[in-house]
Chains A and B, each alone.
Chain A
Amino acid sequence: MRIGLALRVAVAAMLALAASGCFNAFNVLDGNFKPKGRSIAVLAGVPEDASVAIAALVADELRKQSRYRVMSQAQIAEALKPYPQLIKGPYRSAYFEIDVDWSLTDKQKLAAMQRSLGVDYLYVMWAPTAITSGSSKNTSLHVVAQLFEFPGAKEVGQGAFQLYIQKDDATNLKQGAERVARQLAEKTGMLGKNQ
C-alpha cells in the first residue's frame, strides 16, 4: 500500500522514535504480575510471512534474553497441525491501521492450541497489515500482541506497536524483535541474568 506525504512523514517520525528508545511494545495488565511458570510459545496469529517471521524472531530473542523456556517454531509446527493458522485476533479491522479491541481474541482456540503445546504462556502476535510508503519502499508492519497465562487463558499482557523494514533490509525488523523480547522479559520479571 502507498501512503501520502503526511503519512510518510509520520512513518519517518515513528521510525525515529522507535530508534530513540520511545518504543513501547508490551505492558503487563497487573503491576504485581509474577510468572507462574517458565515455558512459553510465541505464535503467529496470521498465517502470512510477516507474522510468522516476526514470531520466529521474537522467539529467538526471547530465548537469548530471558529465563523463559521458549518452544521452537519447529516444535510448535510439529504439535499444531496446521501451523501457522488464522487465530481471530484482538481487532475489529485492519486496513491502514489496526482498530484494536482486546476482547475479540478467540481464547477458546488458544486454549485448544495450548493443550497441544503444554506451555504455561502463549505470546500471540498478529501483523495483519503492512503499509509501504510510495517512493522510499519503507514498510511498517502494524502489530498487536497478547500474552496469555494457562490454565485459564488469562490475558496478562498486551501491546500494539509498529516494526519497520527499510528497503528489503531486515536489520530494523530484527532490532524491533530484540526490543519486543526484552520488554516482554523485563516487564514479566523474566529478564536473563546476563542482560
Chain B
Amino acid sequence: MVTTRVSARRRFARVLLVAVLTAGLAGCGGGVYKPFNPVDEKRPIKPASIAVISGSHQDGDVKLAGFVTKQLAERTKFRVLSQEEIGKRAPGYPSTIGLRKREDIKDDDEKVVWFAPSEKAKLDALQARLKVDHLFVLWIPHMTVVTSNNSTTYYVYPAGNMLEYPGGRVVGSTRMGMGSSTSILALFRSKDYYIVDAIEMSAEAIVDDVIKFTKSAK
C-alpha cells in the first residue's frame, strides 16, 4: 500500500517535472528528458554483466550510482556488480571521470557522450579491472534549488553513458532532470532528504527506461 502511494507520488512528480523542464529549465538539463536513450535503436543491448560507475566521489554522483545499482539488481536480469565489489576490484574508486565542456554539448542533444575523449582510457582501465560487459557511468553535473513563498524544490540533472565491452562503444546516454519539493514534513526530515529523494527518483526513471530499451525486466 505504501509502495503504491510512493509510486503514484513519484509518477506525479515525474509528470510535473517534465512539464517544468519543458516550460523553461532548458539551460540546465538542456530541456531534454531521456533517462536512458540507446544510441543506436536498431542494435539491441543485451542484459549481461554491468557495473554502475560514479563519475566522481561527490555525494550526488556516488548516491546516484548506488541507487541505480540497487534498482538494476532488484528489477533487471543484468548481473550487477555491487559498489563494494567495484571498490575492492578498483582501488581508488570512485575517481573523477572528467566531463566534456558544457559549451561543447548541444542543448537539444539526446544522445550526449558526456565524458571528455581523454577520459576514455580511464574507463577502459576500470573495465579491465572489473571485467564486465557494460559500464554505466553516471554524474550529476548540475543541481539547482528554487525557493518560492511556501516551499523549496531541489532539482538534480543526471548525466550518464553506458559503454559496451569489448571495444568500449557508447551504447546509451542519460540526460534528464528531476525535482523534489519540501512539505511541512521537512521539519522532521534530514537536511538532505529532498535532494536524495530527487536522486532516488532519477534512478528509478533511469532503470525504468533501461528496462524498456533492453527488455531486461525480471
Contacts and interface: CB of A to CB of B under 8 A. Distances in A.
A96 interface: yes
A85 B96 CA distance: 11
A96 B57 CA distance: 15
Contacts of A1: 142-145
A2 B28 contact: yes
Contacts, number: 51
B191 A99 contact: yes
Interface of B: 28, 56-60, 92, 95-96, 142-147, 154, 190-192, 195-196
B144 A3 contact: yes
A95 B147 contact: no
Contact of B191 (A5, A47, A93, A128): A93
Interface of A: 1-7, 46-48, 82, 85-86, 92-97, 99, 128-129
Contacts of A95: 59-60, 143, 154, 192, 195
B27 to A, nearest CB: 9
B147 A6 contact: yes
A148 B24 CA distance: 48
B96 A47 contact: yes
A46 B60 CA distance: 15
B96 A96 contact: no
A116 B89 CA distance: 25
A63 B123 CA distance: 40
